[in-house]
Amino acid sequence: MSNFPGIFTQRSVKNLPDANVGYRFDRDWLGRFKIEPVKGYGIDLNNNGEYDRGKDGVLGYDFDHDGKISKDEVERTNQMMKAAAGEEDLNGDGIVTQKEKEQAAYLRGRYDGLDRNGDGKLQKEEMEQGGMKVWRDTNGDGQIGQDELYNPSNLDHNGISGLFNPGRSLDEVDPHSGTSLISPAYRKGFGPEPLVQYDQFAGRDRLNLKA
């Protein structure tokens, strides 16, 4: 067993549904500007039990497969992961409407389409093949930036990867247990060979994003 658990080995971290991950500008019924929070499905990468902007990840699924990730899609991803875990109160107001029940059933179907092996979890291969990204708000502005979307297999894509700076890989997300698995993502030739997961071509993947 490694003397450095969590550094050289796979470890479990918490999922953070309904995390306040950003904001959007809107108008009230009088036409006045207001700021609305964006709720996302956070991954507690630093494992401190709360969402830290720029340090933790947020799942974003490209629902319409247009090559873009929007704030609406970040919120729908949050609802999809909750629905996959059996929740139907998608907006978190304590009341389940018929519309929410229907929407939860639809979102469970979308989740099942991603879960190709049917184990109830999403492995990184399933996420990447299905169009899932991990948003890390590195500049802390609450907005989705082009260089802030990461492939699950490479959560850092800073071009530096070695024994003491391997980067991280989001290996698995389990909405039922509320946990995810992350591990080092070594560049080939550095670090223990069984942990080689870094793909130099799967790192920086710039997308044109809509607001």
pLDDT tens track for 114-137: 999 999 999 999 999 999 999 999
pLDDT digits (tens, 9 = 90+) for 156-180: 765 444 445 567 899 999 999 999 9
Decide: helix, strand or coil at residue 9: coil
Enter the DSSP assignment of 68. -
Kindly indicate the confidence band of residue 186, based on its pLDDT and cuts at 50, 70 and 90: low
Distance (Å) of CA 20 to CA 31, 51, 74, 112: 24, 8, 11, 26
| pTM (two decimals) | 0.80
Mean of the per-residue pLDDT values for the chain?
82
Interior CA angle at 38 toward 37 and 43, to 5°? Answer: 125
What sign does the CA torsion over 60, 65, 66, 67 have?
Answer: positive
In a domain? residue 207: no
Name the more confident of 76 and 32: 76
Element (H, E) at 41: strand 33-43
**Containing structural domain, residue 31:** 11-119+130-150
Q: What percent of the chain has pLDDT over 90?
A: 56
Closest to 191 measured CA to CA, from 168, 171, 158, 173: 168
In a domain? residue 200: no
Assess whether pLDDT exceeds 80 at residue 81.
Answer: yes
Assess whether pLDDT exceeds 60 at residue 3.
Answer: no
Q: Of 60-64, 91-95, 157-161, where does the model show the most confidence? A: 60-64
Closest to 154 measured CA to CA, from 167, 141, 173: 167
Q: What is the DSSP string of 126-187?
A: HHHHHTEEEE--TT-SSS--GGGEEBTTBS--SS--SSS---EEEEEEETTTTEEEEEE-BP
In a domain? residue 177: no
In a domain? residue 39: yes
pLDDT score, position 166: 60
Q: How far is CA 120 from the centre of its chain?
A: 16
Number of domains within the chain: 1
Are residues 42 and 53 in contact, defined by beta-carbon separation less than 8 angstroms? no
Q: Minimum mean pLDDT among 54-58, 180-184, 189-193: which range?
A: 189-193
Q: What percent of the chain has pLDDT over 70?
A: 79
Are residues 155 and 171 in contact, defined by beta-carbon separation less than 8 angstroms? no
Enter the DSSP assignment of 46. T
Name the more confident of 18 and 162: 18
Four-point Cα dihedral 186, 188, 194, 198, nearest 10: 50
pLDDT score, position 185: 66
Cα(181)–Cα(177) distance, rounded to whole angstroms? 11
Assess whether pLDDT exceeds 90 at residue 88.
Answer: yes
pLDDT score, position 8: 58
pLDDT score, position 167: 74
